[in-house]
Amino acid sequence: MDFLVLFLFYLALVLMGVVTICICSKTHYLRGLVRGGAQVISCIIPECLQRAMRKVLHYLFHTRNHTFIMLHLLLQGMVYAEYTWEVFGYCQELGFSLHYLLLPYLLLVINLVFFTLSCVSNPGTITKANEFSLLQVYEFDEVMFPKNTKCFTCNVRKPARSKHCRVCNRCVHRFDHHCVWVNNCIGAWNARYFLIYLLTLTASAATMAVVSTVFLVQLVVVSDLYLETYVDDLGHLQYLFLTLPRIVFTLGFVVMLSFLLGGYLCFTLYLAATNQTTNEWYRGDRAWCHHCPHVARPPSAEPQVYRNIHSHGLWSNLGEIFLPAAAHCAEKMN
């Protein structure tokens, strides 16, 4: 079973790498590591190739393009094609419930609907027309979001919790992050679409992982296929179980995807429950008195640490995500 051992070892390394990046993302260690790695690579790779790589990376991550949307749809199509041609047919022969097998397709339809909405919907672009009304929505904390701050690129006053997206070249109300997978910003007006998209994507990956696992367990363990061997054309003894490599690989991929998406979903739900954005979470543990260029303070002033003043309880916070218009009206009435 060398193939399975190596494959599981690969999955473990990927998951450990992701966890390490998450732990180091709010420290200077990751930046130092990236900077050091870039210096080493710059000594090895020719200058012309470095320029080409920088152009490609700038196009992929700093300009609006449909590359990751096409990659997303391609990967999703390949996984569902493999599930349909391999797992679905075998599971029907083994007498699995049809409702159980069709659940990933139902989740796929819902996921594609909210994926499309996340791609095309307005995240909350701030314009001259809605500038004044959006300035009234959130209170300025005078630490991360000081009053009377202006975006000179968009020529608008910046409401609290807003940010200018350099990729989309616009200011976004309650800016969360720019997602390359949907080629759009995630803000006040489309955060609910993105959350449901992420939820259904995680659920579909987890469902296919469960179905594939149950199928392999029933086929391999119950039928003792795990112990069966055969001799290949070269005279080597092989396990019969490994004659299903595509199903094993698909299972490993969706299991890894389920863990990664599940972790990110939990993080997103935590932000929604506490009424934070990714932008605020990333910047929130810093002392901003000496770093904010818009606020003049005496040199002797004590550093002011950002505190979340927008959380008003779980249901109110979730209501602000799923009913942003109602939340804005309530805020104005208060």
Residue 293: what pLDDT? 47
d(CA 140, CA 133): 14
How far apart CA 118 and CA 80 sit, in angstroms, is 21
pTM of the model: 0.81
> Does residue 54 sit within a domain?
no
pLDDT of amino acid 277: 95
Under the banding of pLDDT at 50, 70 and 90, the label for residue 45 is: confident
Domain for residue 15, yes or no? no
Cα–Cα dist 256/263, whole Å: 11
Which one has a higher pLDDT value, 326 or 218?
218
Position 164 confidence tier, pLDDT thresholds 50, 70, 90: very high
pLDDT of 183 higher than 80: yes
* The predicted structure's pLDDT at residue 296: 47
C-alpha 278/C-alpha 178 separation (Å) is: 10
Strands, E assignment, the chain: 150-151, 156-157, 163-165, 170-172, 177-179, 184-186, 229-231, 237-239
Residue 60, in any domain of the structure: no
- Residue in the block written with tokens 């409401």: 159
Cβ atoms of 134 and 159 closer than 8 Å: yes
* Residue 172 confidence (pLDDT) above 90: yes
Number of domains in the chain: 1
Q: Is the pLDDT higher at 311 or at 223? A: 311
The answer to whether the beta carbons of residues 280 and 36 sit under 8 Å apart is: no
Residues annotated as catalytic (active site), given as ranges: 179
- Between 66-70, 79-83, 229-233, the lowest mean confidence (pLDDT) is in 229-233
Sign of the CA dihedral 84, 90, 93, 95? negative
pLDDT of residue 331: 44
Structural domain contains residue 103: yes
Could you list the residue range(s) of the whole structural domain that residue 78 is in?
Answer: 66-123+178-285+311-325
Q: Is residue 110 part of a domain?
A: yes
Q: Is the pLDDT of residue 68 over 90?
A: yes
Structure tokens at 136: 């009234």
Q: How confident is the model at residue 235 (pLDDT cuts 50, 70, 90)?
A: low
Residue 144 vs residues 163, 253, 289: alpha-carbon distances, Å? 11, 40, 9
- By DSSP bridging, strand 229-231 and strand 177-179 are unpaired
% of the chain surpassing 90 pLDDT: 49
Give me the mean pLDDT over the 151-171 stretch: 94
Structural domain contains residue 112:
yes
Q: Binning pLDDT at 50, 70 and 90, where does residue 135 land?
A: very high
Rg (CA), the chain: 25
What would the two tokens of residue 111 be?
């996921």
Mean pLDDT value across residues 269-273:
95
Measured distance CA(26)–CA(283) in Å, rounded: 8
Residue 267 lies in a domain: yes
Mean pLDDT of the chain: 81
* SS3 of 114-175: HHHHHHHCCCCECCCCCHHHHHCCCCCCCCCCCCCCEECCCCEECCCCCEEECCCCEEECCC
Q: What is the pLDDT of residue 329?
A: 46
Flag whether 195 is in a domain.
yes
